[in-house]
Amino acid sequence: MACAFSDTCRAVIVFIWTALTLSIVHVASATNISIHVAVSEIERQALLNSGWWKDRIPQNTSDHCGWVGITCDYEGRITDIGLQKSNIKGELGRLNFSCFPNLQYLDLGSNNLSGSIPSQIDSLSNLTYIYLYENNLTGTIPKEIGSLRNLEVLDLGSNNLNGTIPIEIGSVRNLETLSLDGNKLSGVLPIYFGTIPIEIESLRNLQWLDLSSNKLSGTIPKEIGSLRNLKELDLSSNKLGGVLPQEIENLKSLTALSMDANNLGGPIPSTLFRLTNIEYLSLGFNRFNGSIPREIVNLKNLTSLSLGGNKLTGHIPSTLGRLTSLQILDLSSNQLHSSIPLVIGNFSALSYLDLSDNRICGIIPDELTKLSHLKYLNLSSNLLSGQIPFAIGKLFNLASLDLSKNKLSGSIPTEIGNCSELRNLTLNHNSLNGSIPLEMGKILWLQNLDLSHNNLSGTIPKTLPPMYLDMSFNSLEGEIPTYLQGHPPKSFVGNNGLCGHVKGFPSCSQSQKHPPSIILFVKIFLPLSLILPFIILGFILLLKRQNKTPKLNSRAAKNGDVFSVWNYDGKILYEDLINATEDFHIKYCIGTGGYGSVYKAELPEGKVVALKKLHHSETEDSAFVKSFQNEAHVLSTVRHRNIVKLYGFCLHKKCMFLIYEYMERGSLFCVLRDDDEAI
Ligand SMILES: *[C@@H]1O[C@H](CO)[C@@H](O)[C@H](O)[C@H]1NC(C)=O
Ligand SMILES: *[C@@H]1O[C@H](CO)[C@@H](O)[C@H](O)[C@H]1NC(C)=O
Ligand SMILES: *[C@@H]1O[C@H](CO)[C@@H](O)[C@H](O)[C@H]1NC(C)=O
Ligand SMILES: *[C@@H]1O[C@H](CO)[C@@H](O)[C@H](O)[C@H]1NC(C)=O
Ligand SMILES: *[C@@H]1O[C@H](CO)[C@@H](O)[C@H](O)[C@H]1NC(C)=O
Ligand SMILES: *[C@@H]1O[C@H](CO)[C@@H](O)[C@H](O)[C@H]1NC(C)=O
Ligand SMILES: *[C@@H]1O[C@H](CO)[C@@H](O)[C@H](O)[C@H]1NC(C)=O
Ligand SMILES: *[C@@H]1O[C@H](CO)[C@@H](O)[C@H](O)[C@H]1NC(C)=O
Ligand SMILES: *[C@@H]1O[C@H](CO)[C@@H](O)[C@H](O)[C@H]1NC(C)=O
Ligand SMILES: *[C@@H]1O[C@H](CO)[C@@H](O)[C@H](O)[C@H]1NC(C)=O
Ligand SMILES: *[C@@H]1O[C@H](CO)[C@@H](O)[C@H](O)[C@H]1NC(C)=O
Ligand SMILES: *[C@@H]1O[C@H](CO)[C@@H](O)[C@H](O)[C@H]1NC(C)=O
């Protein structure tokens, strides 16, 4: 019994045990598979329920991992959904966010999706990238986003989201990109960042922060300085006020900073200019006041600088000339005075220059025409005088030239015809005279020509391209070319001599059109033939004279020529000057700058000069004295319409001043105000 039990039974028991174990193992692995199938089926069902894949399922693929925009891991679980620009419509909530626990990448950008962002987004705990930009999402940003600890990119730009930026975003430590631009977000900046509990650390990994075009208010918290890895910061087009916090200097990695179109005020902090990696700086349309800091020269890599639409005063710092990478410079609509600095010629890469709507005076320097890449030049609404430089023709890439609303005189240079890329040419409200150059006909693409409110005379060339034009209020005469007669009459009003088939103008009489040839001969050629020999003679004489003009470095010419005005007794002159200004009394002072003050002095002979007295600190610097001497020697011999005549100078340990020709307030004030230019 015992024996039979022992042997056979043992075998039976072993058999049963093995079978049992095997079946248990079998059951276990079957469950594993069924779990996979279940997860997979839930995901597949969720995709189908959204209705977004109806037309996106390839015919021979029943496996949803092969559907358009779907990526699975090796176990068949969805990790990526990428359906950007796929014209999906309807509610974002149709995709059941609870069903994709392994999702890492979600891109539904540019799809016209509506509805709000579901709070179930927190079940996507593995989500690393969220792109929902350019949709029509409404409602608020759910605070549940704060629990997505793996999130690196959150892009909800260009939607209709409102409410505040949830504080909870501050706990998404891995966040590198946060784009919430172009929504209707309001409230103060929570820049994780000041207002939140201490235990939540700031977003130290953040590199790109774009909150532009919202309705954010309040001030920029100083804690923004803790976002040390920030590369691009865009807070433009909000309602932020206060000043730029000094702490901004901690953002050493910053390459682009936009704060334009806010209510920021006070001076531009010079600490900003310690951020030497900045390439793009835009602070336009705020209320910044004070002057443009000289330290701006530290931003060596700057390619775009926009400070337009502020309340900046003072002059354009000449140190700007060392920013040779600059491509865009916008200083428009401020209160800048002084002249256009000559260093402008240093901006060899510049393609956009807007200095319009300031108080810039003086002439348009020839140096400007060295900017051969210039496409847009706007100097309108300033106090510029003198002529349009002939060299303007060198700017052959120019597409838009606006010199309107200045005090420019002289004629329109024929060289303008070389600017063959011009689309917009705006010269209205100046004092230009002479005729409209025929060469303008070479500007084939001209769309917009405004020459109104000048003193232009002569006839309208028949070569002008057809376009929008305004020639009103000049002294033009003769026939309006037939092909321009379709233009509204207001394009030509205010020109008494014009005629043609345009409403309000007399039609041209036969005699005006074809003056009898004999009268023409008597009127024009006869006097001409009498005058011509004299003109030629005069021309030859002029040429000879010009050859004789003194060379700059001939020392002999200098003293005799320049100081003859003053019968060259330095001592008497010095005393006269001291008397005339009552020892530099403040009441004779007409301007003050960084290097010195300018006085107006009336000498006994009735001659009026301007004295520029230099501050003490410079007179003690021997290098400065040396360069002062050199400059004074050169200046005293130069005769050029662009340079104020220097009569002489006094150089002494105790006092150092320059004596200039006195010019009317505008130009002298202007040139001397700008110390760098004057010296
Ligand atoms: C069940 O699946 C997991 C992966 O999810 C795997 O690690 C494990 O080995 C599987 N178990 C069996 C019994 O196959
Ligand atoms: C599915 O069909 C497409 C064409 O409709 C073909 O290019 C592709 O190779 C097919 N895939 C399989 C797995 O048969
Ligand atoms: C989303 O999926 C979860 C889990 O599968 C389910 O409980 C819930 O009812 C679903 N929601 C909708 C709106 O279908
Ligand atoms: C987006 O959808 C709305 C209606 O839901 C429609 O009126 C609008 O034209 C669509 N916009 C685009 C760009 O498709
Ligand atoms: C998903 O997240 C869970 C924890 O939330 C983690 O255990 C798992 O490894 C993650 N999966 C992947 C694919 O990252
Ligand atoms: C966005 O949705 C609103 C309704 O929620 C609708 O009035 C509006 O036209 C939509 N805008 C676009 C651009 O589709
Ligand atoms: C957000 O907009 C919705 C309408 O789209 C409105 O009902 C709601 O009051 C707004 N919320 C806030 C905080 O402005
Ligand atoms: C300017 O840019 C160059 C590369 O474009 C870089 O090597 C250099 O470090 C930058 N200079 C500063 C001051 O950031
Ligand atoms: C700049 O504006 C602030 C007020 O915003 C004012 O207090 C300050 O005096 C102004 N500074 C200058 C130089 O105008
Ligand atoms: C103009 O640029 C050169 C370098 O290209 C620089 O050496 C020079 O100092 C600049 N001039 C001024 C006035 O900044
Ligand atoms: C030039 O600037 C003025 C004032 O800032 C502006 O009104 C005008 O439109 C600008 N001209 C062009 C051609 O952009
Ligand atoms: C010309 O001026 C018009 C209107 O001021 C503007 O829309 C257009 O962009 C300008 N063209 C160029 C090339 O600047």
Instruction: Give the mean model confidence (pLDDT) for residues 490-500.
Output: 92
The minimum-distance atom of ligand 10 relative to the CA of 342 is: 13
- Dist. CA 416–CA 160, nearest whole Å: 48
Q: Measured in angstroms, how far is the CA atom of residue 252 from the centroid of ligand 8?
A: 13
| Residue 656 near residue 613, CB atoms below 8 Å | yes
Q: Please measure the distance between the N-terminal and C-terminal CA atoms of the chain and give it in whole angstroms.
A: 128
pLDDT (tens digit per residue) in 311-331: 999 989 888 888 999 999 999
Integer CA distances (angstroms), 370 to 360, 394, 459, 482, in order: 20, 7, 32, 38
Best of 351, 398, 423 for a ligand 12 pocket test (most atoms within 8 Å of beta carbon): 423
What residue owns the CA closest to ligand 5's atom 7? Answer: 126
- Dist. CA 267–CA 289, nearest whole Å: 5
The minimum-distance atom of ligand 12 relative to the CA of 424 is: 1
The minimum-distance atom of ligand 2 relative to the CA of 60 is: 1
Instruction: Give the mean model confidence (pLDDT) for residues 516-541.
Output: 58
Q: What percent of the chain shows pLDDT beyond 90? A: 48
> Both 117 and 187 in a single domain?
no
Best of 84, 85, 86, 112 for a ligand 4 pocket test (most atoms within 8 Å of beta carbon): 112
Determine whether the shortest distance from the Cβ of 91 to ligand 4 is under 6 A: no
Residue 40 clears pLDDT 70, i.e. is over it: yes
Q: Measured in angstroms, how far is the CA atom of residue 161 from the centroid of ligand 7?
A: 8
- Dist. CA 407–CA 655, nearest whole Å: 37
pLDDT (tens digit per residue) in 199-218: 345 788 899 999 999 999 99
220 occurs within a structural domain:
yes
The minimum-distance atom of ligand 8 relative to the CA of 301 is: 1
pLDDT, position 665: 47
**Which of 312, 329, 345 delimits the end of a domain?**
312
What residue owns the CA closest to ligand 11's atom 1? Answer: 378
Residue 195 clears pLDDT 50, i.e. is over it: no
What residue owns the CA closest to ligand 6's atom 8? Answer: 136
Nearest bound ligand to CA 136?
6
Q: Measured in angstroms, how far is the CA atom of residue 248 from the centroid of ligand 9?
A: 20
Q: Measured in angstroms, how far is the CA atom of residue 112 from the centroid of ligand 4?
A: 6
The minimum-distance atom of ligand 5 relative to the CA of 125 is: 5
5 occurs within a structural domain:
no
pLDDT (tens digit per residue) in 108-163: 999 999 999 999 999 898 999 999 999 999 999 999 998 998 999 999 999 999 99
Q: Between 578 and 90, name the one with better pLDDT.
A: 90
Q: Which SS3 state, helix, strand or coil, does residue 450 take?
A: strand
Number of domains in the chain: 3
CA 580 to chain centre: 47
Instruction: Give the mean model confidence (pLDDT) for residues 498-511.
Output: 82
215 marked among binding-site residues? no
Q: Which residues contact 566 (CB under 8 A, 6 or more apart)?
A: 573, 647, 648
What residue owns the CA closest to ligand 12's atom 14? Answer: 400
Q: Measured in angstroms, how far is the CA atom of residue 32 from the centroid of ligand 1?
A: 6
Q: Measured in angstroms, how far is the CA atom of residue 34 from the centroid of ligand 1?
A: 11
> Both 134 and 255 in a single domain?
no
> Both 564 and 670 in a single domain?
yes
Q: Which residue has the tokens 């901004």?
A: 248
**Which of 312, 330, 350 delimits the end of a domain?**
312
Q: Mean pLDDT score of the chain, rounded to an integer? A: 80
596 occurs within a structural domain:
yes
178 occurs within a structural domain:
yes
> Both 111 and 236 in a single domain?
no
What residue owns the CA closest to ligand 12's atom 3? Answer: 424
Nearest to 672 by CA among 565, 581, 593: 593
Nearest to 112 by CA among 93, 126, 92: 92
Determine whether the shortest distance from the Cβ of 325 to ligand 8 is under 6 A: no
Integer CA distances (angstroms), 498 to 232, 435, 452, 474, in order: 57, 14, 14, 10
- Dist. CA 163–CA 190, nearest whole Å: 13
Integer CA distances (angstroms), 108 to 117, 137, 161, 315, 461, in order: 12, 11, 16, 50, 58
Structure tokens at 382: 């300033």
The confidence band for 558, taking pLDDT boundaries of 50, 70 and 90, is: very low
Q: Measured in angstroms, how far is the CA atom of residue 103 from the centroid of ligand 2?
A: 26
CATH number for 665: 3.30.200.20
- Dist. CA 611–CA 658, nearest whole Å: 6
- Dist. CA 515–CA 478, nearest whole Å: 12
> Both 139 and 97 in a single domain?
yes
Nearest to 204 by CA among 276, 164, 155, 253: 253
C-alpha angle 97-103-104 in degrees, rounded to nearest 5? 130
The confidence band for 223, taking pLDDT boundaries of 50, 70 and 90, is: confident
Query: What b/e sequence results for 333-367 when a residue is b if at least 16 CB atoms lie within 10 Å of its CB, and e otherwise?
Result: bbebbbbbbbbbbbbebbbbbbbbbbebbbbbbeb
The minimum-distance atom of ligand 10 relative to the CA of 346 is: 1
Best of 21, 32, 73 for a ligand 1 pocket test (most atoms within 8 Å of beta carbon): 32
Q: Measured in angstroms, how far is the CA atom of residue 101 from the centroid of ligand 5?
A: 8
208 occurs within a structural domain:
yes
CATH number for 125: 3.80.10.10
- For ligand 1, which residues put their CB under 6 angstroms from it? 28-29, 32
30 occurs within a structural domain:
no
> Both 126 and 239 in a single domain?
no
Give me the domain span that covers residue 283.
Answer: 173-312
Nearest to 200 by CA among 231, 179, 223: 223
pLDDT, position 398: 96
Q: Measured in angstroms, how far is the CA atom of residue 281 from the centroid of ligand 10?
A: 21
Nearest bound ligand to CA 376?
12
> Both 140 and 181 in a single domain?
no
547 occurs within a structural domain:
no
Residue 563 clears pLDDT 60, i.e. is over it: no
pLDDT (tens digit per residue) in 262-305: 999 999 998 999 999 999 999 999 999 999 998 999 999 999 99
Q: Measured in angstroms, how far is the CA atom of residue 143 from the centroid of ligand 7?
A: 16
> Both 203 and 279 in a single domain?
yes
- Dist. CA 190–CA 167, nearest whole Å: 6
586 occurs within a structural domain:
yes
Structure tokens at 546: 């010009």
What residue owns the CA closest to ligand 9's atom 3? Answer: 266
Tell me the pTM: 0.73
- For ligand 12, which residues put their CB under 6 angstroms from it? 399-400, 423-424, 448
> Both 302 and 219 in a single domain?
yes
Q: Which region among 238-252, 404-418, 658-672 has the lowest average model confidence (pLDDT)?
A: 658-672
**Which of 291, 312, 333 delimits the end of a domain?**
312
- Dist. CA 503–CA 480, nearest whole Å: 12
| Residue 169 near residue 146, CB atoms below 8 Å | yes
> Both 631 and 580 in a single domain?
yes
Q: Measured in angstroms, how far is the CA atom of residue 29 from the centroid of ligand 1?
A: 7
pLDDT (tens digit per residue) in 369-428: 999 999 999 999 999 999 999 999 999 999 999 999 999 999 999 999 999 999 999 999
Determine whether the shortest distance from the Cβ of 112 to ligand 4 is under 6 A: yes
| Residue 610 near residue 668, CB atoms below 8 Å | yes
> Both 197 and 289 in a single domain?
yes
What residue owns the CA closest to ligand 2's atom 12? Answer: 60
Instruction: Give the mean model confidence (pLDDT) for residues 216-232.
Output: 87
> Both 140 and 178 in a single domain?
no
